[in-house]
Amino acid sequence: MQTFIENLPKAELHLHIEGTFEPELMFEIAQRNEIDLPFEDVEALRKAYDFSRLQDFLDIYYQGMNVLREEQDFYDLTWAYLTRIHKQNVLHTEIFFDPQGHTDRGIPFETALNGIYNALQDGQKQLGISFGVIMCFLRHLDEDAAMATLEQALAHKDKIIGVGLDSSEMGHPPEKFTNVFARAKAEGFHIVAHAGEEGPPEYVRQALDVLHVERIDHGNRALEDEALTQRIVESGMALTVCPLSNLKLCVVDDLKNHPIKKMLKAGLKATINSDDPAYFGGYMNENFGQLAEAVGLTRDEIATLARNGFEATFLPKDQQQALVAKLDAYLATA
Ligand code: HPA
Ligand code: ZN
């Protein structure tokens, strides 16, 4: 099954580019920028990746991104991610970035965006990986700050396809961002939001009713509410599920207890993604592979998850169908 997964054409729809920052590259860029990391070496840093909740991870994640200063740093980070997923047969990726994690440190919005975007363009040309960029608002900050970030993005509509919502979920419900999401939608951005990772089903309901999301990032806790689950099934909306993230952040106590089969049986359009692979122990193949092993996914279930990934992209229909055709061609021979 592992070989089947490795060669399977895949799309990734829930990936924070700052969460792909491998310790080796972090130390290299820290040295280049003459920044002292509060860790002795790569091994000591990796040892700190022991989380019992989302906030434990976020504290280290924001500390890590502090090393990114120059456009080249953002380029190198993104290029490293692309070369990894190229080896994993990821054909399309829609990545998140956290502009406020950079602008709040005095790094210009354009420094981050251009570094990331230039690498993605080179990835498309040299590796054949198509892409989209989604910028996320940090939900622990206020709506005015999100609005100021959206205004900065308006000059870059050619590079940014959507807006999302991430960071500390509890105490920061989607409705806190009603106005900024309404404005983003009116400006033509696609809309997604993290909901139901740690937050209750009510936050998922708000993401649907108040933010008008087109995909739900995580969404695990929607399962606690049958009517809500049914509604999501009927809408055909995708959930971007992140198995190793769920394990590392204790959203599930054991990968064996991951609700992926329950999601598929309920008829939810679940997809598999890596979230913050440098911190959670694996990229797409590791997420598919370890989940398949833990819950005993069948070949058909794995194929469905990959198909859902392509069908849930924000690509135009013809490009989506071209990717699904590649998946079908693979399934016919594998
Ligand atoms: N959840 C919320 N915020 C995040 C995450 C996540 O999984 N990764 C990076 N920021
Ligand atoms: Zn995430």
Quick check: 237 and 216 in contact, CB under 8 A?
Answer: yes
How confident is the model over 23-50, as a mean pLDDT? 97
Q: How far is CA 333 from CA 2, 3, 18, 300, 309, in A?
A: 16, 13, 36, 14, 20
The ligand 1 atom at the shortest distance from the C-alpha of residue 98 is 10
Q: What is the pLDDT of residue 163?
A: 99
The two tokens of residue 13 are: 């729809």
Mutate to test the pocket of ligand 1, among 51, 61, 139, 141 (most ligand atoms within 8 A of CB): 61
Total Cβ atoms within 10 A of residue 308: 21
Percent of the chain topping pLDDT 70: 100
Q: Kindly report, residue by residue over 227-255, the tens digit of the pLDDT.
A: 999 999 999 999 999 999 999 999 999 99
Task: Check residue 272 and give its pLDDT.
Answer: 99
Pocket of ligand 1 (CB under 6 A): 16, 19, 54, 61, 166-167, 194, 197, 245, 275-276
Contact 13, 271 (CB under 8 A): yes
pLDDT digits 0-9 by tens, 57-85: 999 999 999 999 999 999 999 999 999 99
Predicted TM-score of the model (pTM): 0.98
Number of C-beta neighbours around residue 31 at 10 A: 12
Active site residue 143: no
